[in-house]
């Protein structure tokens, strides 16, 4: 099971030293949702995925590292305004701050991931309007960066569907279906198609899209967690599919 450790860290932006917590080790995650939102046990550690400086508000996986470009973003007007935005849940705001840093320094796909993680926070806090807004922003960031790879394109279908943009989700699915989708990824897209047709915005796991034969053990009973305690997934959607089917 994951454990939380506390360390003293000096901020690379302002120099302030603070006590920060981080997660060590993994835990049973189970198959993630189709947008890679992890199971409850892993999501409960989200408060420790990023460190936040209590002095300047810099947010990063590690506060003791910052490029000159990142420092400039932290002191910019938009970043200071985001820090002061009290209409956003505090934890979601932390992920949005990281997303702004990543976007402004050209890491658009990473910014999309951080924005999506803010949406996961909104999900758990039952703030659907914010979750929808941030999912749509995440899709825009995915598309503004380098061309999304196949896995990202499949995830975008789910992200748009969860945001209630059924037209956009259907168009993304159609674009995927014009290519040769590997099995069982084609089944994931077909599953999404059924959900889109039903106007369903609920979360579904990889296991829901790809129910394994009864003889196969549940993904949570094999192997390490797909996620580590920071805002990046281990293995991705395709890794989750392969793990679910017991492939290596």
pLDDT, tens only, 21-47: 887 766 556 889 999 999 888 888 999
The yes-or-no verdict on residue 215 having pLDDT over 50 is no
Report yes or no: 119 and 137 within 8 Å, Cβ to Cβ.
Answer: no
Q: What is the DSSP string of 51-119?
A: EE-TTT--EES-TT---HHHHHHHTSHHHHHHHT-TTS-HHHHHHHHHHHHHHHTT-HHHHHHHHHHHH
pLDDT, tens only, 187-198: 999 999 999 999
Please indicate whether residue 217 or residue 143 has the higher confidence score (pLDDT): 143
The encoded tokens of residue 193 equal 């198609």
Mean of all residue pLDDT scores within the chain: 87
pLDDT, tens only, 95-130: 999 999 999 999 999 999 999 999 999 999 999 999
Please indicate whether residue 248 or residue 37 has the higher confidence score (pLDDT): 37
Q: Per this entry, what is the length of the chain? A: 248
The encoded tokens of residue 98 equal 């990281």
CB atoms within 10 A of CB 184: 18
pLDDT, tens only, 142-182: 999 999 999 999 999 999 999 999 999 999 999 999 988 98
Please indicate whether residue 85 or residue 237 has the higher confidence score (pLDDT): 85
């Amino acid at each position: 099971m994951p454990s939380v450790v506390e360390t003293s860290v000096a901020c690379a932006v302002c120099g302030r030293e603070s006590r920060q917590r981080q997660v060590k080790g993994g835990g049973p995650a189970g198959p993630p949702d189709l947008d890679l939102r992890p199971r409850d046990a892993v999501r409960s550690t989200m408060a420790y995925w990023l460190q936040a400086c209590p002095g300047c508000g810099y947010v990063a996986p590690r506060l003791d590292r910052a490029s000159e470009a990142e420092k400039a973003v932290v002191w910019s007007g938009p970043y200071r305004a985001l820090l002061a935005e009290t209409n956003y849940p505090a934890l979601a705001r932390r992920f949005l701050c990281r997303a702004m840093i990543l976007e402004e320094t050209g890491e658009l796909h990473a910014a999309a991931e951080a924005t999506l993680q803010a949406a996961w926070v909104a999900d758990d806090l039952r703030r659907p309007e914010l979750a929808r807004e941030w999912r749509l922003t995440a899709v825009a960031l995915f598309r503004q960066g380098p061309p999304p790879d196949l896995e990202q394109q499949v995830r975008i279908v789910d992200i748009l569907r969860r945001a209630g943009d059924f037209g956009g989700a259907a168009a993304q699915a159609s674009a995927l279906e014009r290519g040769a989708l590997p099995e069982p990824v084609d089944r994931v897209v077909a599953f999404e198609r059924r959900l889109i047709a039903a106007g369903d915005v609920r979360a579904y796991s990889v296991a829901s899209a790809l129910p394994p034969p009864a003889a196969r053990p549940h993904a949570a009973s094999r192997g390490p967690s797909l996620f580590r305690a920071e805002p990046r997934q281990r293995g991705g959607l395709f890794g989750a599919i392969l793990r679910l089917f017991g492939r290596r």
